[in-house]
Amino acid sequence: MKNVLVTGGAGFIGSNFVRYLLQREPDVKVVTLDLLTYAGKMENLEDLPRPENHVFVQGDICNRELVDQLLAENAIDTIVHFAAESHVDRSILGPMPFIQTNIIGTFTLLEAAKNAWKDKPGEFRFHHISTDEVFGALQSGDPAFEEGTPYNPHSPYSASKASSDHLVRAYYSTYNLPITISNCSNNYGPYQFPEKLIPLMILNGITGKPLPVYGKGEQIRDWLHVMDHCEAIYLILKKGKIGETYCIGGDNQPTNLEIVQLICEILDDKVPRADGKSHTSQIQYVSDRPGHDFRYDINTNKIQRELGWKPAHALRTGLEETIEWYLNHSAWVDSVLDKDEFSSWINTNYQERDY
Which residues form the interface with ligand TYD (CB under 6 A)? 88, 186, 196-197, 200, 212-214, 219, 221, 256, 289
Residue 213 binding: pick among ligand NAD, ligand TYD, none (C-beta 5-8 Å cut-off by kind): ligand TYD
Per-position DSSP letters for 14-69, written without gaps between them: HHHHHHHHHHH-TT-EEEEEE---TT--GGGGTT-SSGGGEEEEE--TT-HHHHHH
Q: Which of 60, 89, 133, 222 is catalytic?
A: 133
Residue 39 binding: pick among ligand NAD, ligand TYD, none (C-beta 5-8 Å cut-off by kind): ligand NAD
Residue 355 CA to residue 350 CA, distance in Å, equals 5
DSSP tag of 10: T
Select the residue whose beta carbon is closest to ligand NAD and give its number: 11
Instruction: Tell the smallest beta-carbon distance from residue 80 to ligand NAD (Å).
Output: 10
Has 132 been annotated as catalytic? yes
Instruction: Tell the smallest beta-carbon distance from residue 183 to ligand NAD (Å).
Output: 7
Helix and strand totals (H; E) in the chain = 13, 11
Of 315, 279, 150, residue with least CA distance to 204: 279
Nearer Cβ to ligand NAD (105/156): 105
Instruction: Tell the smallest beta-carbon distance from residue 66 to ligand TYD (Å).
Output: 29
Could you give the 3-state DSSP secondary structure of residue 297? coil
Burial (CB count within 10 angstroms: exposed 0-12, middle 13-18, buried 19+), residue 82: buried
Residue 256 binding: pick among ligand NAD, ligand TYD, none (C-beta 5-8 Å cut-off by kind): ligand TYD
Residue 32 binding: pick among ligand NAD, ligand TYD, none (C-beta 5-8 Å cut-off by kind): none
Instruction: Tell the smallest beta-carbon distance from residue 254 to ligand TYD (Å).
Output: 11
Tally of CB atoms within 10 A around 42 = 13
Q: Please tell me the number of Cα atoms within 13 Å of 151 on its side-chain side.
A: 15
Instruction: Tell the smallest beta-carbon distance from residue 32 to ligand NAD (Å).
Output: 9
Has 293 been annotated as catalytic? no
Residue 105 binding: pick among ligand NAD, ligand TYD, none (C-beta 5-8 Å cut-off by kind): ligand NAD
Q: Which of 25, 34, 132, 228 is catalytic?
A: 132
Handedness of CA 47, 49, 53, 56 (dihedral sign): negative
Residue 14 binding: pick among ligand NAD, ligand TYD, none (C-beta 5-8 Å cut-off by kind): ligand NAD
Residue 156 CA to residue 91 CA, distance in Å, equals 6
Q: Which of 157, 172, 234, 246 is catalytic?
A: 157
Which positions touch ligand NAD (CB under 6 A)? 7-8, 10-14, 33-37, 39-40, 60-62, 82-86, 101, 105, 129, 131, 161, 184, 186-187, 193
Nearer Cβ to ligand TYD (5/259): 259
Residues in the chain: 355
What distances in angstroms separate CA 276 from CA 268, 271, 342, one per listed residue? Answer: 9, 11, 30
Per-position DSSP letters for 103-137, written without gaps between them: IIIHHHHHHHHHHHHTTSTTS-EEEEEEEGGGG--
Cα dihedral 105→107→109→112 (10° resolution): -140
Instruction: Tell the smallest beta-carbon distance from residue 122 to ligand TYD (Å).
Output: 37
Q: What is the set of active-site residues?
A: 132-133, 157
